[in-house]
């Protein structure tokens, strides 16, 4: 049993971490902090946890996080970079679900996130927590930058094509659709039910913060700077990401075999049989990423379809997968939930 703390447990990634960790056989939840809700029982805020979680939110200033073996940051961007240093120095392992340590180029990070970085030296230390790409480094990491939700679905979708060198990496297109929980548990007009239901729209077409994160990952795989057009959309569902990816093929390749081989030993990446279309509910509440590959009319454009649950494989589930790797647990331990369908 390891001792685990969560900083910032009142958002959707926080409650999802709680759902998963409360039944993880190797985890003892010690602390969950919230400035605003300090003293409140966790299950008062989230009645779904009644009879399962008996913790109270603790005041961040009083929480004894340094006694934990591992601390998850489920905080807004800009918080973890303030608090990670002292925990890191105390030998506590850290998994940050926010964006603070994801971008290696500090200037780029500061441009997209609109603030100076408080802890650039730890960025170099951080390991990008996409197990399908970085498993070896994760094993020995002391600080994990847990990937964003779009970046997970998009990178898992593009990686085989790029690693194999069979597409024109100058003109990749990622048309992505997210459920509304991706916007977080924040009081905002845009994501009210009456605004977001029975409605579909794109947003941030001029530039979204996940663009540099995805480009960084794909450029490493391509061993050169890639060109990516990234267009996110909001779709009226709670959970789920659907990435529709377009790439121009430059070589002859059997897409189905390429993907099946690349992910053959991955427990959480599921390549569908030829001709299928993955749907987001087929991963709802689970840590799977399901992928299908198409080449319409046998043309030059490969169309890759990749779905995840943004709160699980796109956040809390992947964080626990990283934890399992770091502590030498079975990688699937505690995250084998079968998707909820219907």
DSSP per-residue letters across 55-71: -B-B-TTT--GGGSSEE
With CB under 8 A as the contact rule, the residue among 280, 308, 318, 321 that binds a copy of itself is 280
Q: Report d(CA 321, CA 41) in Å as an integer.
A: 27
Cβ(308)–Cβ(288) under 8 Å? yes
Q: What's the min distance (Å) between Cβ of 251 and a copy of itself?
A: 17
- Pairing assessment for the beta strands 127-128 and 143-145 based on DSSP bridges: parallel
- CA-nearest of 316, 187, 303 to 256 is 303
135 binds a copy of itself (CB under 8 A): no
Q: Report d(CA 198, CA 14) in Å as an integer.
A: 27
317 binds a copy of itself (CB under 8 A): no
149 is catalytic: yes
Residues 8-67 close enough to bind a copy of itself by CB under 8 A: 12, 15, 19, 22-23, 46-52
324 binds a copy of itself (CB under 8 A): no
341 binds a copy of itself (CB under 8 A): yes
192 binds a copy of itself (CB under 8 A): yes
| Dihedral Cα 327, 330, 334, 339, nearest 10 deg | 130
Contacts of 140 (CB under 8 A, 6+ apart): none
Q: What is the DSSP letter of 50?
A: T
**x/- string (CB under 8 A) for a copy of itself, residues 199-238?**
xxxxx-xxx-------------------x-xxx-x-xxxx
Return the number of the residue (48 or 54) whose C-beta is nearest a copy of itself: 48
Phi, psi at residue 251, to the nearest 5°? -140, 160
282 binds a copy of itself (CB under 8 A): yes
Return the number of the residue (126 or 149) whose C-beta is nearest a copy of itself: 149
303 binds a copy of itself (CB under 8 A): yes
With CB under 8 A as the contact rule, the residue among 188, 224, 225, 257 that binds a copy of itself is 188
* Kind and range of the H or E run holding 292: strand 289-294
Return the number of the residue (30 or 239) whose C-beta is nearest a copy of itself: 239
With CB under 8 A as the contact rule, the residue among 139, 220, 294, 327 that binds a copy of itself is 294
126 binds a copy of itself (CB under 8 A): no
What is Dmax (Cα atoms) for the chain? 62
Q: What's the min distance (Å) between Cβ of 185 and a copy of itself?
A: 6
DSSP per-residue letters across 216-241: HHHHHHHTS---EEEEEEE-SSSS-E
263 binds a copy of itself (CB under 8 A): no
For residue 83, count CB atoms less than 10 angstroms from its CB and return exposed for 0-12, middle for 13-18, buried for 19 or more: buried
Instruction: Find tokens 């956040």 and name the residue.
Output: 315
Q: Report d(CA 10, CA 35) in Å as an integer.
A: 10
Return the number of the residue (19 or 88) whose C-beta is nearest a copy of itself: 19
With CB under 8 A as the contact rule, the residue among 89, 91, 140, 187 that binds a copy of itself is 187
Q: What's the min distance (Å) between Cβ of 262 and a copy of itself?
A: 16
Return the number of the residue (217 or 334) whose C-beta is nearest a copy of itself: 334
Residues 147-186 close enough to bind a copy of itself by CB under 8 A: 171, 173, 175, 177, 179-181, 183, 185-186
Contacts of 91 (CB under 8 A, 6+ apart): none
With CB under 8 A as the contact rule, the residue among 35, 197, 225, 261 that binds a copy of itself is 197
Q: What's the min distance (Å) between Cβ of 24 and a copy of itself?
A: 11
Q: What's the min distance (Å) between Cβ of 169 and a copy of itself?
A: 14
Return the active site residues: 149
């Amino acid at each position: 049993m390891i001792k685990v703390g969560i900083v910032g447990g009142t958002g959707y990634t926080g409650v999802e971490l709680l759902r998963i960790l409360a039944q993880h056989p190797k985890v003892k939840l010690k602390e969950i902090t919230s400035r605003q809700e300090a003293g409140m029982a966790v299950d008062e805020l989230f009645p779904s946890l009644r009879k399962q979680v008996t913790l109270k939110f603790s005041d961040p200033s009083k929480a004894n996080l340094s006694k934990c073996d591992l601390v998850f940051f489920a905080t807004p961007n800009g918080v973890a970079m303030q608090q990670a240093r002292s925990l890191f120095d105390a030998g506590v392992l850290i998994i940050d679900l926010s964006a603070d340590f994801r971008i290696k180029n500090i200037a780029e990070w500061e441009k997209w996130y609109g603030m100076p970085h408080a802890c650039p030296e730890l960025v170099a230390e951080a390991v990008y927590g996409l197990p399908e790409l970085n498993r070896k480094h994760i094993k020995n990491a002391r600080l994990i930058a847990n990937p964003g939700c779009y970046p997970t679905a998009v990178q898992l979708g593009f990686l085989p094509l790029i690693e194999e060198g069979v597409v024109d990496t100058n003109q990749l297109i990622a048309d992505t659709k997210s459920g509304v929980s991706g916007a977080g548990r924040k009081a905002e007009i845009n994501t009210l039910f009456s605004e977001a239901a029975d409605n579909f729209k794109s947003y941030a077409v001029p530039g979204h913060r996940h663009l540099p994160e995805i480009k960084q990952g794909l450029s490493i795989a391509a061993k050169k700077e890639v060109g990516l057009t990234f267009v996110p959309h909001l779709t009226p569902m709670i959970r789920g990401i659907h990435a529709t990816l377009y790439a121009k093929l430059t070589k002859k390749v059997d897409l189905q075999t390429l993907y099946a081989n690349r992910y053959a030993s991955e427990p959480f990446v599921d390549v569908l049989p030829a001709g299928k279309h993955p749907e987001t509910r087929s991963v709802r509440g689970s840590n799977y990423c399901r992928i299908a590959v198409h080449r319409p009319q046998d043309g030059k454009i490969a169309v890759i379809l990749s779905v995840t649950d943004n709160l699980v494989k796109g956040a809390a589930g992947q964080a626990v997968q990283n934890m399992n790797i770091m502590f030498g647990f079975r990688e699937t331990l505690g995250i084998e939930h079968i998707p909820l369908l219907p």
